[in-house]
Amino acid sequence: MFGLGTPELIVIGVIVFLIFGAKRIPEIGKGLGGAIKEFRDARKDLAKDTPKQEKKEEPKPQASLESQLAEKVVHQVPGVKQVLEVKDKVNKLKDLMKS
C-alpha cells in the first residue's frame, strides 16, 4: 500500500482510538463512508453528463466539484470542522510569532 505494514496500522489504530474514543469512531467511519459515496456518485454523474471531448477542454467543473465535496466532508464527518478551526488558530499564532 504505502509501505505500511501490520504493526504500523495497529499503532495508527490505537492512536485514533485514544484520540477519538470508542463512541466517535463509528460516527467518523459513517461520515467518511457517506462522503466517499457522494464523491463516487458525483463523479459518475459528471462522467455521464459531459462527453469525453468536453471533459478535456473544461477542467473548471472539477474544481467546483472538489470544493463542494470538501464542504460536504466538513459537514458530514464529525470533528473535521473543529480540526480546521484549530489549524487556522495555529497558523494565526505562527504568523504572530514570526512578526
Q: Which pLDDT belongs to residue 1?
A: 47
H or E element at residue 12? helix 6-49
Mean pLDDT value of segment 42-70: 66
In this predicted structure, the answer to whether residue 50 has a pLDDT above a threshold of 70 is no
Q: What is the mean pLDDT of the chain?
A: 78
pLDDT tens-digit profile of 60-82? 555 577 777 777 777 777 777 77
- How far apart are the C-alpha atoms of 39 and 29, rounded to whole Å? 15
pTM of this prediction?
0.40
Find out whether 37 and 72 touch, Cβ atoms under 8 Å: no
CA–CA separation, 89 and 22 (whole Å): 27
